[in-house]
Structure 1
């Protein structure tokens, strides 16, 4: 059964706890080799997402890896660029897509993106198949992007195109309600403040872009994810409350329905993840959903040497995508 009993990940010795394993790669890593080619994908509702392509040499490749970034991330984050480079080196083209409002300019509509919005990922995949003619597609995602990927695969498995062959995701909050409270612990305040600062800036930007459509009164008083999501994320995307949004968007409820070989790697020392984000029972009962829980790795970390060196997440994804029998 796909509950993996061990992991080959060994963190660098100087990264001796989950916080260092989270912070050092995100702040010190650089991946200058990746050169993106940008394409704008127009969406059916009049909005857009920006796609950043990194093509294998020689191009074109028959295999495409689609990378979904984390909350308030973008295609320029080191973990995204690192995955794009690893895919290219393995002979895959890579597509790092930016969620609505994350590509460097505001999106057109009042709504933006959220952690349960699989429609935009579906549109990206459709574009890759019908316009770019890729016969094989592999999905990878980090944190929020992993949640979107897992939900996409499990919420309507009969609609997943046959070109989608496998998926590998990392550091995923499969239980959003529990995770939204977990990151509010005192140990995680440095992360929470950073996320909220970015989200507040997005709200101010959107209010300036769409005058009179967004109320910013009380924005500065919001101190955690449940408060922010109850005030903005939920109503802007059609949910009655933050809890209703979390219930709809959490990928954990969809994992058992996945019918594409899919690997979830969540480190046991991930400071963002509560115990409910390690779905061992589901993996043990599934023929398609693989769960790996290395002792270390932090959140979207998995460095195995110097920050500019190799990363377990990248070689693990490539290995999972290229093995005859995944596991």
Structure 2
């Protein structure tokens, strides 16, 4: 039942998925003054949380995408908008993404919801919020959806809902799509930063015995997963990782209001990342597909003051479906 019709209608040039994907990160000049809190984890590591507080009883937990951080422009713009509407926010910088390398060999991956669970419990135990809402982008959206689904029977009553944007909920097909020629520039950018991080880890943990020659030759995510993700996190193979980390199997288990927004022109997403049947058969999982918007873009025009459709859509879902009062 909850399959939603989108009202996103950009101007002509922004009907290009690539322009919409790139524009926000290149041309947005917004910034945030966060207050950072470093928390120690159960496995003798740390996670950096960046708060932006306005004195609300509702906290929105933001989770960024692959190789992003609290400085990612979609995180900054969402933080500022929600603050203006009277909500506190905190960005969960995934391990190794806050600007300081984490202490362990392992960093993060698309399905590492034990870290989400740890952060959520920390917020509940140490802060006096009545409501917590999860908002995730891309990889962070996969974490958001997977967490809400797999915790459906045990989730805290303070977790009132979730929103996920531009999410490759089926990792195997999403990776295949991202590795096509049309996404060559994005893929090379991701691989460059990820290879650098893996090399840095190998230098700090020589017992890891990284095959640096194979790393240098890597041209696919699967190659990096075979060299790093699989052995470090205990998966049997990249295929095992894809299956266990994907959020799609958990959508039917979602029991609180949760929205996924994916664009048809998002070149990162395959057909399997558009869960129409799952939404039709759910009372709590809402799926909205737009014709345009790219990946984490949803920019309407060159007039920046009007480029807030995504933030307004997040706000509207919080008002109408999660039923939280905003300014």
Per-residue CA deviations over 1:87-122 (Å, capped at 9, x if unaligned) read 101111000110011111111111110100001111
Q: 1:47 aligns with which of 45, 61, 64?
A: 45
Equivalent residues in 2 for 1:104-115, closer than 5 Å: 104-115=99-110
Report whether the alignment pairs 1:322 with 2:319. Answer: yes
Structure 1 position 25, deviation (Å): 1.2
How far apart are the structure 2 equivalents of 1:268 and 1:95?
29
For 1:223, which of 194, 219, 223 is the aligned residue?
219
Q: For residues 206 and 106 of structure 1, what CA distance do their matches in structure 2 show?
A: 9
Could you tell me which runs of 5 or more consecutive residues in structure 2 were left unpaired when the two chains were aligned: none
Deviations 1:207-251 (A, max 9, x none): 223334341332110101112112211211110110000000000
Mapped partners of 1:239, 1:319: distance in 2 = 39
Pick the aligned partner of 1:311 from 308, 313, 325.
308
Q: 1:206 to 1:281 in 2, by over 3 A?
A: same
Q: How has the CA–CA distance of structure 1 residues 325 and 82 changed in structure 2, closer, same or farther, with 3 Å as cutoff?
A: closer
Q: Counterpart of 1:253? A: 249
User: Does structure 1 retain, via aligned residues, the 8 Å contact 2:257–2:321?
Assistant: no
2 CA distance for matches of 1:68 and 1:82?
A: 13
CA contact (8 A) 1:269 1:296 kept: yes
Between Structure 1 and Structure 2, how many residues are aligned?
321
Alignment root-mean-square deviation, CA? 1.3
Return structure 1 stretches of 4+ with deviation > 4 angstroms: none
SS at match of 1:266: strand
Tell me the CA shift for residue 324 of structure 1: 5.5
Summarize the Cα distance change of 1:40–1:12 in structure 2 as closer, same or farther, 3 Å threshold.
Answer: farther
Partner Cα distance (1:209, 1:252) in 2: 35
1:3 aligns with 2:32: no
Alignment partner, residue 123 of structure 2: 128
Counterpart mapping for 1:1-327 below 5 A: 1-4=1-4, 6-32=5-31, 34-56=32-54, 60-215=55-210, 216-306=212-302, 308-309=304-305, 310-323=307-320
Q: Distance in 2 between matches of 1:69 and 1:324?
A: 23
Unaligned runs of 5+ in 1: none
Q: Give the alignment's TM-score, normalised by structure 1.
A: 0.95
TM-score, normalization by structure 2: 0.95
Q: Distance in 2 between matches of 1:163 and 1:289?
A: 18
Cα deviation for residue 155 of structure 1 reads 1.2
